[in-house]
Each structure stands twice: as structure tokens, then as C-alpha cells.
């Protein structure tokens, strides 16, 4: 990380570590998925292909992250349970929930065609996530029982609702018929009016899906005259069970007991309020600038696999910028974004009430939308290059209390851009000239700005200051007014438009030219302005 006078802004970051021995559960939920399912014409009340897509994404998450042992999902939600002694990214809540939801969102887009080969995805999917802190196995058991009970009740209700609607009733009439009905009454409606035995419906609809790791024998390849060698390896499977929180189900899979723990007895009465009290609801300080900073996860490897140009791939940078524009268009409370390489910082207005300022929801919604957009837009910027595997990003939320400090944060990121880009430009020119990576690093060790500029000029004939400004300054995305003017000078149309520019945001000139981006909008400041202070 580059050193500068702006480094102090890092002190505002909060390491939200979940202490051991709490069990970690990450729950993701579809964001505006009712609308998404309507736009994409999902079958009601259950679309088997959509559910199988969710299950496929959950399976891939377990395969990618060894510390996730079990997942349970239905409809548009999934809960991921980590092994008891996990040190996954040092148990930082924001890192954990953002990585899981980002990868899930990327997978959802990347795998869409496998399940909907004849249907284009018509809108961008995204998810919210939160962490549930389970201080004991009893809490985890109650949580799983609660989620499966929700699956049972919601699916039974929705099955009745949509059968009534398909029979000719309006949605309001169908809700009125079902108002106050109990489980048995719904079963009778289904059987008597539609000839449906609810218990005969597919178990995936009624019970949800459990994705877990189990141990299987694996025979190793051996020379002809030697005895076969067997070893245990973990395999991800999908099962459907009536009660995933029962001792019998848990004991059937030794990996669950070994990696997470066992249940001492079956759970009966579940108090929803009790379980919900363990959900992490970290609200961010009021009247502060909220910055959502996202970073590519293992993007060095991703860029190598995808064959990105070094030190900068203009197509990749423009893809990042396009995703940032989409984020601004999706979340109106984001007033500015700054990006470089594989990172982007999104600034929310000071008085935002987005998700009631709950950090987990703001971070997860932003990072998942950015991730799914990245996959959806890939072909626009790399029409001849296949996306080898879905990328993912991690995110965090940081509060900055004043105009001066938010300005210093953004200056810090641009200084970092300047220093890192100059170093990388020198490094890759040396490597392309025949030096090994170790030799290039040795030549650059301890060099200052002027020395690097001289190296580029003398060895490679490159004037660093003439390189594309997108490389040197990074990219700024913000709202600007777009106007249409008639020949007689009359303005007939004016509206906001998210624009991408590459200005110097360290100095005052840019901010003086765009004073409304970081305007003081807190209710307190507006109230105080009404009074005449002596």
C-alpha cells in the first residue's frame, strides 16, 4: 500500500471480527426477487429450473470454500454454515458475508444458461446477506428449524395462492380466501378444489434443499502390482429431508458432527424472536459519509487466467467503470464513486437511510450487484474472450465524519493509484524487456518518482505523463446534468446522468466545479441554517 499524508484515514476502518467459539452462518436473500422472477417469467409457485440454479450456485460455493460445511436453501434464500473452528479471513464479518454473496451472484449469472438455455436474463440479479452469530449448537439448531419451518409454511401458502389465481380468482381474492387459514385447511383447499395431495408435491418444494459435504472413499491410481490405496475425500451432495435440525439427520452425516458439532436433542418449540436476536445488525453512525469499498478477490490470478494486458488492460478498466455506473443508477443514494485497477469506492450521501444504514445489507447489496453486473457485461468488453470462471469481490463499509476527511479518503485512493500505476508500468516494461520478475523488483526497490520516470524515458522512450489519464488518475463516476438545447437556445430536456471522467480529485478544482456532489445535506445542518447565530 502506498504511503502518503492521507494514510491516517485507515484508522476509521473497523475490524468487525466474530470471536471464537461463535458459529458463523451467512444468510443470503434475493434482493427484489419477486420482481426479478416476474420479469424473467418464472413458473409459479415454484420454478424447478430456478431452484436448481440456486442449488447449483450453493454447491459451487461449498466447493470453492472448504470452511463452509453445510448450506440450506429454498425459494431465493440460502444459509451457509462454516465449520466451528474456521479462521476464514480471520472471521471478519464484512469480508465473510461479502465474499459469499459476491461469488453467489456471479455464479447465478454465469450459470443461467445451463438452466435457461432459451431464455435471456432480462434484469440484473442481486442479493443481500447478513451474518448470524450462533453462540451454541442449540442456537444453530433453532435457526435451521426456523428456516425450514418458513419453507414449509411459505410454500404451502404460495401453492394455494397460485392455484386459486390460476383458477380465475384475483390475487386479492386469493389472499382473502387464505386469510387466517391453518395448515390443515390449506391442505383441504388443495385436495378438494384442485385434487392435489400436498405431501405428494416434490420434496424440494416442501422441504427445501440441503447442500453438504460428506466423506466418500476414493481409490488412488497405483502401479499394476501394488494393492489399491483408498482414502477419504469430501464430496458435495444435495439432499432433501423433512427435518434438517433433527439429531437423526445430523448423525447420518459424520462430517457435520465432526466439523460443526452435534445436537443433543430434537428441537420442538421455536421462538422466531429468539433466533432473530442473533442476527448481526450493525448500524452505521448517522450523519457520516458512508464509503462502500469493494476489492477484487484474488484478481491477480483472475487477470492472468483471462490474459489481461499488463500493466493495464483498458477493456478491463472500462468494464469496471461500466459496472460502477450501473451501481450508481441502481442505488440513488450513491453520489460518487472512484475506481482503479480491481477496486471501487462508492460514497453515499451523509443523510442516507438506505437499508436503515445497516452495514451488512448496504455492503452485500452493492457488492453482489456489482459482481453480477460484471459477469453480465463481460461480453460487451471482451466479445471474443470467454469468461473462464466467475470473479468475486469483497467489501466493507467505513464511516467518515466530515467533508475534509471524506476528501482525504478519496485523495488517499488516488495517490495510491498514482504510485502503484507508476511502479507497475516500470515493472512490466522491465519484465517485457527480458528481466525476471525478481530482477525487476530488485531494480525498482527504493526508487523514487523521478527515478522511475527517468527509467521509463531512458530505457523505453516512455513519457509517463503522456500515458492515458485513465491509468494515471483512475476513474471518477458521478451524477451530472445532461441537457438538450433547441436551435433557439431554449432548453427542452434536462436530467441526471452518471458520467465517467478521470480528473484530479486531490486538488480543489474538481470539487469547486462540482459542489453538489458532496454538499452538506444532513437534517441537522439544514435546521441550524434557519437560525441567525451571532
> How large is the average pLDDT for residues 73-87?
96
> How large is the average pLDDT for residues 503-521?
89
Q: How far is the C-alpha of 51 from the C-alpha of 468, rounded, in Å?
A: 46
Q: How far is the C-alpha of 368 from the C-alpha of 319, rounded, in Å?
A: 16
Mean pLDDT computed over every residue of the chain: 91
Cis geometry, peptide bond prior to residue 440 (ω within 30 degrees of 0): no
User: In this model, does residue 27 exceed pLDDT 90?
Assistant: yes
* 445-467 pLDDT tens trace: 999 999 999 999 999 999 999 99
Helix (H, G, I), strand (E, B) or coil at 349: coil
User: In this model, does residue 534 exceed pLDDT 50?
Assistant: no
Q: How far is the C-alpha of 196 from the C-alpha of 184, rounded, in Å?
A: 13
Confidence of residue 473 (pLDDT cuts 50, 70, 90): very high
Confidence of residue 530 (pLDDT cuts 50, 70, 90): very low
User: In this model, does residue 372 exceed pLDDT 70?
Assistant: yes
- What is the predicted pLDDT for the residue at 531? 29
> DSSP of 121-165, one letter per residue?
--S---EEEEEEEESSHHHHHHHHHHHHHHHHHHHHHHHHHHHHH
- What is the predicted pLDDT for the residue at 34? 94
* 234-257 pLDDT tens trace: 899 999 999 999 999 999 998 999
User: In this model, does residue 282 exceed pLDDT 50?
Assistant: yes
User: In this model, does residue 525 exceed pLDDT 70?
Assistant: no
> How large is the average pLDDT for residues 381-403?
96
Residue 391, C-alpha cell as written in the block: 470473479
pTM: 0.92
What are residue 524's phi and psi, to 5 degrees?
A: -60, -45
Nearest to 299 by CA among 11, 106, 110: 106
- What is the predicted pLDDT for the residue at 486? 65
- What is the predicted pLDDT for the residue at 277? 78
End-to-end CA gap in the chain: 46
Q: How far is the C-alpha of 360 from the C-alpha of 279, rounded, in Å?
A: 10
> How large is the average pLDDT for residues 357-361?
95
Angle at 179 between CA 175 and CA 185, to 5 degrees: 110
Q: How far is the C-alpha of 474 from the C-alpha of 468, rounded, in Å?
A: 10
Q: Quick one: what percent of the chain has pLDDT higher than 70?
A: 91
- Residue 340: exposure state from Cβ atoms within 10 A (0-12, 13-18, ≥19): buried
User: In this model, does residue 333 exceed pLDDT 60?
Assistant: yes
Cβ proximity of 377 and 319 under 8 Å? yes
> How large is the average pLDDT for residues 306-313?
96
User: Which residue's entry shows cell 385447511?
Assistant: 185
Nearest to 108 by CA among 403, 374, 411, 395: 374
- What is the predicted pLDDT for the residue at 509? 96
Cβ proximity of 496 and 480 under 8 Å? yes
Q: How far is the C-alpha of 95 from the C-alpha of 84, rounded, in Å?
A: 17
Q: How far is the C-alpha of 110 from the C-alpha of 108, rounded, in Å?
A: 6
Helix (H, G, I), strand (E, B) or coil at 3: coil
Nearest to 358 by CA among 285, 409, 273: 285
User: In this model, does residue 273 exceed pLDDT 90?
Assistant: no
Nearest to 406 by CA among 95, 6, 94, 15: 6
Q: How far is the C-alpha of 341 from the C-alpha of 420, rounded, in Å?
A: 10
* 54 vs 495, more confident: 54
User: In this model, does residue 522 exceed pLDDT 70?
Assistant: no
Amino acid at each position: 500500500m502506498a504511503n502518503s499524508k492521507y494514510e491516517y484515514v485507515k484508522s476509521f476502518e473497523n475490524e468487525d471480527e466474530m470471536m471464537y467459539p461463535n458459529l458463523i452462518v451467512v444468510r443470503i436473500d434475493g434482493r427484489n426477487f419477486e420482481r426479478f422472477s416476474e420479469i424473467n417469467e418464472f413458473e409459479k409457485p415454484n420454478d424447478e429450473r430456478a431452484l436448481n440454479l440456486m442449488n447449483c450456485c450453493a454447491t459451487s460455493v461449498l466447493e470453492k470454500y472448504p470452511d463452509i460445511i453445510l448450506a440450506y436453501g429454498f425459494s431465493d434464500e440460502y444459509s451457509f454454515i462454516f465449520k466451528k473452528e474456521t479462521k476464514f479471513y480471520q472471521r471478519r464479518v464484512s469480508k465473510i458475508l461479502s465474499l459469499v454473496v459476491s461469488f453467489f451472484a456471479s455464479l447465478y449469472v454465469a450459470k443461467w444458461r445451463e438452466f435457461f438455455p432459451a431464455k435471456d436474463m432480462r434484469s440484473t440479479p442481486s442479493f443481500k446477506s447478513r451474518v448470524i452469530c450462533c453462540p451454541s449448537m442449540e442456537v444453530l439448531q433453532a435457526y435451521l428449524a426456523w428456516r425450514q419451518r418458513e419453507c414449509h409454511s411459505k410454500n404451502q401458502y404460495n401453492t394455494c395462492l397460485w392455484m386459486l389465481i390460476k383458477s380465475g380468482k384475483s390475487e386479492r381474492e386469493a389472499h382473502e380466501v387464505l386469510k387466517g387459514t391453518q395448515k390443515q385447511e390449506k391442505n383441504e383447499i388443495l385436495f378438494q378444489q384442485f385434487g392435489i395431495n400436498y405431501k405428494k408435491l416434490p420434496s424440494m418444494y416442501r422441504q427445501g434443499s440441503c447442500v453438504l459435504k460428506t466423506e466418500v472413499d476414493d481409490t488412488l491410481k497405483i502401479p499394476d502390482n501394488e494393492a489399491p490405496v483408498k482414502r477419504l475425500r469430501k464430496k458435495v451432495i444435495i439432499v432433501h429431508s423433512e427435518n434438517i435440525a433433527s439429531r437423526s439427520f445430523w448423525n447420518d452425516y459424520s462430517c457435520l458432527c465432526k466439523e460443526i458439532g452435534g445436537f443433543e436433542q430434537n428441537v420442538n418449540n421455536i421462538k422466531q424472536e429468539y433466533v432473530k436476536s442473533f442476527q448481526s445488525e450493525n448500524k452505521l453512525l448517522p450523519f457520516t459519509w458512508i464509503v462502500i469499498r469493494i476489492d477484487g478477490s484474488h484478481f491477480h490470478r483472475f487477470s492472468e487466467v483471462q490474459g489481461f494486458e499488463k500493466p493495464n488492460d483498458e477493456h478491463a478498466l472500462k468494464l469496471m467503470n461500466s459496472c460502477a455506473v450501473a451501481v450508481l443508477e441502481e442505488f440513488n443514494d450513491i453520489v460518487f464513486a472512484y475506481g482503479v485497477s480491481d477496486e471501487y469506492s462508492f460514497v453515499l450521501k451523509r443523510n442516507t437511510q438506505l437499508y436503515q444504514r445497516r452495514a451488512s445489507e448496504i455492503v452485500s447489496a452493492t457488492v453482489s450487484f456489482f459482481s453480477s453486473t460484471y459477469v453480465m457485461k463481460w461480453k460487451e468488453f471482451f466479445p471474443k474472450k470467454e469468461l473462464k470462471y466467475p470473479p468475486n469481490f469483497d467489501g466493507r463499509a467505513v464511516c467518515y465524519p466530515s467533508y475534509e476527511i471524506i476528501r482525504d479518503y478519496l485523495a488517499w485512493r488516488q495517490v495510491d493509484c498514482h504510485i502503484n500505476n507508476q511502479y507497475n508500468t516500470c515493472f512490466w516494461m522491465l519484465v517485457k524487456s527480458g528481466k525476471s520478475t525478481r530482477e525487476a523488483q530488485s531494480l525498482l526497490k527504493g526508487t523514487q518518482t523521478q527515478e522511475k520516470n527517468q527509467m521509463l524515458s531512458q530505457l523505453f522512450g516512455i513519457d509517463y505523463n503522456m500515458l492515458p489519464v485513465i491509468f494515471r488518475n483512475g476513474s471518477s463516476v458521478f451524477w451530472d446534468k445532461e441537457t438538450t438545447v433547441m436551435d433557439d437556445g431554449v432548453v427542452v430536456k434536462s436530467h441526471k446522468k452518471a458520467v465517467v471522467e478521470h480528473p484530479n480529485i486531490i486538488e480543489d478544482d474538481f470539487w469547486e466545479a462540482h459542489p453538489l456532489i458532496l454538499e452538506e445535506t444532513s437534517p441537522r445542518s439544514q435546521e441550524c441554517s434557519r437560525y441567525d447565530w451571532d
